[in-house]
Structure 1
Amino acid sequence: MLSGNRIPGLNFINLFTFHNTPFIEPKDDQKSQRSTDTHKLKGHPKQRKDGWMEFQFAEVSAGANGTIKLHYGFSFHPNMDYFDLVVEGIEFRPFDTSTIHVATQSRSLQVDPTNISHIVFGLLGTTKAWHYRKPYIESWWRPNITRGYLYLDTAPTNDLLPWSLNSPPYRISDDNTKLLEKTKHVAPIMVRMVHAVIEVFREEREGVRWYVMGDDDSIFFVDNMVDVLAEYDHTKYIYIGGHSECISSNQIYSYDMGFGGAGLIMSYPLAKMVQKNIEDCFARDPYLNSADKILMTCVNDFGVSLTSHQGLHQIDLHGDISGFLASHPKAPLLSLHHPDQVDPLFPSMDRAGSIKHLMKAANVDQSRMLQQTICYQRKSNWSFSISWGYLVHIYENIIPRSILKIPLKTFKPWYLNSHHPFYIFNTRPVLEDPCVAPHVFSFESVNINENEILTNYLRVVPRGLPACGLAGNHSANLVTKIIVISPVRKPNLNGKTECCDVINTNDARVAKLIMRDCLDDELIA
C-alpha cells in the first residue's frame, strides 16, 4: 500500500500488510492449497502468472525531452523483522499501448558494460601436447585477470610441476565412461571435448556472461573479445563462431557450425541450456564424430543458430599465411588457431617466438591488430598496405583498395588433395611482376607515448625484381624501414577503415606513415 508519509518527489511502498498477506505462489503446474485473495489496490503486491509477486510503485510521464529519471531504493522498518525478500527486477510499462509509444533498446535495463571478468575460457588439451603448446596460451593468458581452466586428459607429468603461474589453472577432464555407456556414443574423445562445456559451467557461474571454448593452441585476443561481446545481449541465447577458411571443411561439416579451435562462444543462457540437456544431445546423435558438430547439432535442435564472426580464425591452412593475415577482413581480430600447422609468422623466429612477438603489438593496441590500412605516395606511384602490428607492403604501382583487400595466395588449403575452388574468399596470385609484387616489411617493435603509438617494420628480404616500368620506374629497393604512427585512441567505428598519409623524410631508406580517420568522401584508390 502507498504510505501516508510523503516527502516531495518521493513515493513509499509498504510491502507488509496485516490482512491477506500475499505469498509467492507455485507455478500453474504445481499443487497448492493457498489462497491468493489480495487487495486490488495500487501499490499492493499482486500475484503474476509466473508465481512472483509484483506491485506498482509509481506513475510517471516523460519530460519535454522524452526522458524519465528515477531513483529508487529499499529501507526497512527498525522494529520489524524481514526475511526471504527477493527483488527480481523492475519493469516499465505504458499505460495504454494504443496511444503511448515506448522506445525500447535491446536490453530493458541499463547494465554495466561487459568486461573481462564476465568471460570464462574453457580450453581443451592433452598433457602430451601441453609441453610444446604451453607458450601459445601463456602469450595471451593474464594471470589473476582472465578466468577459466585448461582441461587435460591426464594428470600433469612431473616435468610440468610445479604448475606455472603464467598458465591457466588446470583440471582433469571428467571420467565419461558411464555417460558413454548410457548414451552409446561412439566417439569418447569428442564427448570429452563437448562435455567440457558442462565442466567449465560447473566451475564458474558467478557473474559470467560468456563462455569461450577453445583448444590448447588457440590464441585469443581478449581485449577485442570484450569489445565485441559487449555489443551482444548476453541474456539471450547466442552461439558465436567462425567458419573454416576452406570450402571443403565447411562442406564436410557445416556452414552453420562454429569451428572450435577458432573459439566457440556461448552466452550464459545457452551454456546453461547445453549443460542441462547435453546427455540427450549425445544420445540423439551417437554417431557424430566431431565435437564441434555435436555442439552445433545440440544448439540447433534447441532453436539456436550460428552467429558467424570474421575475426575468429580456424586457420585451416598450410604454409605461409602472411598473404591471408596481410589482408585481414574488416573485423576485430579475435583468435588464431593451428600455429603448428603453418610456417612461423615471422620467418626469423620459431612458432612460439612468433606468437609472443605478435602479442607485443597486441598488448599495446588490439583494436588495430591486423587491420588493413592503405595509402599512396602519388609522386612515386607507390601503394602502402599496412596490416597493423604484423606487415607492411609497398607496391610500385597505384592499386585500389578493392584489389589490395584480396589476400595474396601465399598459403595452401587444409586438404592438400582438394579441388578448386579452395577458399571461402577470393585470392590474388603471387606473381613475379614488379608492378604487382610487394616489398615486404615485418613488424619489429612498438613504442607508445602520451598521444601516439609508433610501430616499426623492417624489410624481410630484397624483392629481387626490377622497378615497375609501367608506373615510372620508381624503385622502392632503397627503403629498409617503415614507421607507422597511429593515435592512442581506438579507431572511429563509423563503418569505414582508417586512412593514412605518407610523410616526407630526409632519409630515402625510411618511410613514415601516419594513420587517421578517413574523410567523408575520401577515395582509397
Structure 2
Amino acid sequence: MPPSSPSIQRKPQLSSLPILCKGIVICGLVLFLFYTVLCHHPNNDNDLFVPFIAQEWPASSPTNVTSSPTDLSHIMFVLVGCIRTWKYRRPYIEAWWRENKTRGNIWLDVAPTQELLPWPSSSPPFRVNEDIKKLKIYPKLVNPVEVRIYRSVLETFRLEDNKDVRWFVMADDDTLFFLDNLVEVLGKYDHTKYYYIGTNSECIKSNYDFSFDMGYGGAGYALSYALVEALVSTIDECIERYPHLYVSDYLSSSCSADLGVDLIIEKGIHQIDLHGDISGLLSSHPKSSLITLHHFDAIDPIFPSMNRTEAVNHLMKPAKLDQSRLLQQTICYLRQSNWTFSISWGYSAHIYESIFPRSILRRPLETFRPWKEDRPPLFMFNTRRPSNDPCKAPHVFSLEGVLDRDEGSSSHEHVITTYSRSLQRNLPACSSNGNHSADPIVKIQVFSPSTGRKEAGRIECCDVDYVAGKDIANIKLRACMKSEVLA
C-alpha cells in the first residue's frame, strides 16, 4: 500500500496560502499609501525626489542665472604686456579704454621705469606679475614668459576687486576692443556655467602649428566666472602637465579642455594673423558684430595717409556713435548704370561697374598676405583675387568723417558717414556693361538711422541717389523689404 506521505506533504502548502495572500495584500496597501504620499504632495509633485537626485547626480555647473542683463561693469579685463613695448602700444589700449568705467589691469613683467611714470589715468592700472621662478616646474618650462601671461588670470581672480564680475577677458596690449559689441555678445551666454569664447587664426598654417580648437590670446578670449573659479585651483597643476607648450593660449585651451570645456567661436573676434594691407578683409566683414582687432604692429595702417595710431583713432570715431553697424557690409545697386555699391559702414565704400550678388562680395579681396608663407590653401575663409579687369576691380573710397545729424540741421534722424576716393583706379570703364564709368565720383555719403543699435546679424538694404556726372553719390540704409534679393 502506497505511503500517505504525499498528501501529508501538501497540507503545509495549503495552510500557508492564506498567510501568503495576507502578505501580498498588506504589501499592496503599503505600496499604495507610499505612492499616494509621493504623487499627491500638496506643494510639489517631485519635492520628495529632489534631495535624492541632488545627492546622486549633482549639477555640473551653477544654475542660479541672474535676471539682470550683463553690462560693462561685469567684465574684468586681463591685459598683458611688457615694459619693452608698452610705450608703443599704449595708444591702442587708450583708444578703447573708458576711464572709470572699464575694469581690469595691464599686467607687466617688471615695474614701470621712471620714464613711464606717473602712470596715466587714461590707461588701465598696472600690476606686476608674480615671479614664476618659485614654481617647481620652472626649470622644465619651454617658454616661461607665456606661463606668466596665462597665470595673470589666476592673479586677477585673487584680487579683492572682483565683486559682481561675470567674465574675465584676456588679451594682448595691441588689441582694439569694441566694448558695446563685446557686452552684447557676452550677454548671450550664462556666466554661471563654463564658457570659453574666442576665435582661431585666419591662417590655416597657424592653426595647424598650434591648435584649431584654441582661442587666440592676442585676438582676445572670454572665460566665464564659473570656469575661472574652477580653473584657478588647477592652473599650476595644469602647467606642470604641459611644460612643453610654447604659447599661453594653447596652455589656456588645454587646461579648459581638461575640464571638459571646448572653445566657442565668435566671428567678430579677429586675431589678424596677416601682413600688409587688410582693407580687403575689413571691407567684407561677416554679419557678426565686430568685437576685436589685433596685431596692429604687423599690418599696414588701416587708413591711407595715416600712421597706425592715427588710423586706430580714426576708426573709433564711428565706433563711438554706432558700434552695431561698424564694418557691417551693405550691398545696393544703381541698375541704370549697372553699378554695385558695397558699404563697410564706418570704414570703406566700393563701387563696381558690374552687378555682383552678395554671395560674391561677401568674400574678402585678398589684399593681404598670410602670417607665414605656405602653399595654398592659406586662409580659413574664401577670398577673391584682386583683378585689373575694369568690370571686376572696385573704385575704393575710405572713411573721411562722421556726423551724428543731418548736415545743416539740428535733427538727429541720421548718422552720416562720408567716404572719399582713396586713389584713382586708372582703368577704363567696363565696356561690357555700357561704359558707365564711376570715375567722376569723388565722395560717397551714407545715411544710416540714428535710432539705436542695429540688431546683431540683421542685413540692411540701401537705395542709391546719384545723378550721372555728379561727384557725390548718396546712399540711404534701410530695412530690407520682404524677400528682397541683394542682386
TM-score (norm 1): 0.79
Matches for 1:108-123 after TM superposition, within 5 Å: 111-123=67-79
Off by >3 Å, runs of 4+ in structure 1: 92-97, 106-110, 180-184, 490-496, 504-507
Q: How many residues align?
A: 428
Q: 1:251 to 1:182 in 2, by over 3 A?
A: closer
State the alpha-carbon separation in 1 of the partners of residues 241 and 176 from structure 2.
33
The one of 360, 363, 368 aligned to 1:403: 360
Identify the residue that residue 242 of structure 1 maps to in structure 2. 199
SS state of the match for residue 444, structure 1?
strand
Please give the per-residue CA displacement for 1:97-134, whole angstroms capped at 9, x wherever unaligned: 9xxxxxxxx97655110000000111110111011111
State the alpha-carbon separation in 1 of the partners of residues 225 and 139 from structure 2.
25
Query: Identity of counterpart residues, as a percentage?
Result: 50
Contact 1:503 1:513 in 2 (8 A): yes
Q: 1:524 to 1:229 in 2, by over 3 A?
A: same
Identify the residue that residue 481 of structure 2 maps to in structure 1. 519
Higher fraction of helix: 2
2:262 equivalent to 1:305: yes
Look up the equivalent residue of 2:424 and give its one-letter code. Answer: P
Please give the per-residue CA displacement for 1:343-401, whole angstroms capped at 9, x wherever unaligned: 00012100111001101111111001101010001111110001111000000111110
2:147 equivalent to 1:191: yes
Contact 1:183 1:283 in 2 (8 A): no
Q: CA deviation at 1:286?
A: 1.3
Identify the residue that residue 251 of structure 1 maps to in structure 2. 208
Contact 1:330 1:371 in 2 (8 A): yes
2:285 equivalent to 1:328: yes
Matches for 1:45-64 after TM superposition, within 5 Å: none
Look up the equivalent residue of 1:336 and give its one-letter code. Answer: L
Look up the equivalent residue of 1:289 and give its one-letter code. Answer: Y
SS state of the match for residue 297, structure 2?
helix
State the alpha-carbon separation in 2 of the partners of residues 133 and 492 from structure 1.
31
State the alpha-carbon separation in 2 of the partners of residues 143 and 169 from structure 1.
10
The one of 430, 453, 460 aligned to 2:386: 430
State the alpha-carbon separation in 1 of the partners of residues 140 and 386 from structure 2.
50
Moved more, 288-297 or 183-192: 183-192
Moved more, 447-456 or 351-360: 447-456
Larger radius of gyration: 2
Contact 2:387 2:393 in 1 (8 A): yes
The one of 417, 429, 432 aligned to 1:455: 417
State the alpha-carbon separation in 2 of the partners of residues 366 and 496 from structure 1.
14
Please give the per-residue CA displacement for 1:17-75, whole angstroms capped at 9, x wherever unaligned: xxxxxxxxxxxxxxxxxxxxxxxxxxxxxxxxxxxxxxx9x96xxxxxxxxxxxxxxxx
Identify the residue that residue 128 of structure 1 maps to in structure 2. 84
SS state of the match for residue 486, structure 1?
strand
State the alpha-carbon separation in 1 of the partners of residues 458 and 481 from structure 2.
10
Contact 1:395 1:435 in 2 (8 A): yes
Please give the per-residue CA displacement for 1:197-241, whole angstroms capped at 9, x wherever unaligned: 111212242100001000010111111000111111111100001
Q: CA deviation at 1:95?
A: 7.5
SS state of the match for residue 421, structure 1?
coil
Q: CA deviation at 1:494?
A: 7.8
SS state of the match for residue 262, structure 1?
coil
SS state of the match for residue 366, structure 1?
coil
State the alpha-carbon separation in 1 of the partners of residues 481 and 45 from structure 2.
43
Look up the equivalent residue of 2:80 and give its one-letter code. Answer: L
State the alpha-carbon separation in 1 of the partners of residues 48 and 485 from structure 2.
50
Moved more, 123-132 or 109-118: 109-118
TM-score (norm 2): 0.85
Please give the per-residue CA displacement for 1:165-204, whole angstroms capped at 9, x wherever unaligned: 1111100111111115468433211110110111121224
State the alpha-carbon separation in 2 of the partners of residues 215 and 180 from structure 1.
27
Contact 1:326 1:391 in 2 (8 A): yes
Moved more, 287-296 or 198-207: 198-207
Q: CA deviation at 1:519?
A: 1.4
Contact 1:491 1:498 in 2 (8 A): no
Identify the residue that residue 433 of structure 2 maps to in structure 1. 471
* Structure 2: runs of 5 or more not aligned: 1-40, 50-61, 406-411
SS state of the match for residue 489, structure 1?
coil
Look up the equivalent residue of 1:473 and give its one-letter code. Answer: N
| CA RMSD between the two structures | 2.0
| Higher relative contact order, structure no. (Cα contacts within 8 Å, ≥ 6 residues apart) | 2
